[in-house]
A and B are shown apart, each in its own frame.
Chain A
Amino acid sequence: MSDICIIGGGHAAGRLVNNLQKLNYNGNIDIFSEENFLPYERPSLSKDFLLDKKNINDFQIDIDLDKVNYYFNTKINKVDFQNKLIIDLNNKSYSYSKLIFANGSYPKRIFDEDIKGVHYLRNINDSINIKKNIQNSKNIILLGAGYISLEISSSIKKKYPKKEVTIIDISEKILVRNSNDDLRELILKHQRKNNVKFLLKSVIKSVQKNNDESIEFVALDDDKLLACDLLIVGIGVHPNNKIIEGTDLYDDNGIKVNEFCETSIKDVYALGDVALAKNVFLNKFVREESWNNAEKQSNILAQNLIGTKIAYEEIPWFWTDQFDQNFQILGEINNFDNKILRSYSDNKNTFLYIKNKKLIGAVAENNGRDISIIRKILKKNIEPNFEKIQNININLKELL
């Protein structure tokens, strides 16, 4: 029996073990991963890894393998909370003392069947396959105008400026989730400048194949045909919660946990993309799907597992890198009643969002320093002087 049993071998799982090892935890740890790789961080998969600027060693998470039982290629299929057992695809069961769900999320699919030339991006093998296929493709279509597609379009155009890249989305706007109109405008400016095409309010109805079964055209809902030899689908992710279907813990939007990463079942925890976690700053349950969330929740959970109870109090924060530009989102960027733009130059801007005279969030283009300062203001609950914020000659640091 393991003391700590972790389902999933991704970012959150790897960092959790790494943190436990740093804290000199010496209980038994079992990790079950359906992948064949040690844990790694995923952001580079759509950016520097696609561009061959980084390899897996650059983003693999360092854990001491001598001190854990690592089960590679082992997919957990079922959980029996009553008897404290997890069961893999071959019906082998393993008992646990404490169970951690760190099994992340999976990309939503457009077709049930696998079609040659249709790809999804979640893991390193997906990224390797996409990289190979980009090389030999002329007409690339990215379905879904979310962060993953916008990063892939940037990587493709940086390496192959002449390739046709079109992003299709059912919505009339890009980035329907986790964004706002200010950020959309900033991002679209760079995408369009680099000749990425957009077909919004469009739906892919079907694909037409060549004789060798590879994709040749996509058919849109208005029956228009678009030449396409590579279709990469990025239409959002869904939490990997199927393995607890039918149990009390099941929720369509993830595994519900409080700010300590605890579920309603004793000794059962969740973190990372799969966790629908209580966010103290937003005062609601959110599934964050971000590097920062996986990284910081694993710090909190490691402490909690060794008995130092700490709450997760991070302000939601997300970054995306496209066409050598860095965009960051902090806090609440939608439900505001006022905003201030600090524009330093064409490509360096910070929007600050205000509600009921309180600062609630920010969006920055190439201005991480402002985000660092605004995070401090929000954490310390400082009442900022908005006149000062409006004055671009005043360093935001003065508000601290």
Chain B
Amino acid sequence: MNDNENWVKTYSINDIDDEDVKEFHLPNGNKIAVYNINNSFYATDLFCTHEKVSLCDGFIDGDSIECPLHQGVFKISTGEVLESPPTEGLKIYLTKIENNFIYVNIN
């Protein structure tokens, strides 16, 4: 696979408000969450690692996302757990912006 094929085009940077997050389905079927934090764009797995619930229903506070079910907190930029109950970090994806679109690296 050449590097271009690793990058998946997701939303336009104008589609996601500041401090907001949107669900996106990758071609391989995986579901991810794409975030706008102060005009920096990040992507993580969609589901909390504690139970299968969408983090898009959670609360973004600065660089962290609080899970809606049991208020576990992850750092969006690194995926690390900041507050339990989850113990396992969140998978994160590299992102880049090209022509105002957010690309996510699935490699």
Contacts and interface: CB of A to CB of B under 8 A. Distances in A.
B89 interface: no
Number of contact residues on A: which range applies? Answer: 10 to 19
Interface in B53-107: 57-59, 61, 66-71, 84-85, 87
List 10 tightest A-B contacts by C-beta distance, closest first: A368-B68, A372-B59, A369-B59, A372-B66, A369-B68, A326-B69, A368-B69, A319-B70, A369-B57, A369-B58
Contacts of A181: none
B73 to A, nearest CB: 9
A326 B53 CA distance: 11
A326 B70 CA distance: 9
A48 B57 CA distance: 21
Interface class of chain B by DSSP: loop
Interface residues of B, number: 15
A383 interface: no
A371 B85 contact: no
Given A41-B85, A62-B87, A372 B69 contact: no
Contact of B57 (A319, A321, A368, A373): A368
Contacts of B84: 295
Contacts of B69: 319, 321, 326, 368
Contacts, number: 40
Contacts of A390: none
Interface of B: 19, 51, 57-59, 61, 66-71, 84-85, 87
Given A326-B68, A371-B71, A291 B85 contact: yes
Contact of A367 (B68, B70, B85): B68
A371 B51 CA distance: 18
A301 to B, nearest CB: 16
B96 to A, nearest CB: 28
Nearest to B19: A397
Interface string A29-59: 0000000000001000000100000000000
A368 B51 CA distance: 14
A372 B71 CA distance: 7
Contacts of B68: 326, 366-369, 372
A22 to B, nearest CB: 12
Nearest to B66: A372
Contacts of A367: 68
Nearest to A61: B87
Interface string A367-387: 111011100100000000000
A376 B87 CA distance: 23
Nearest to A364: B68
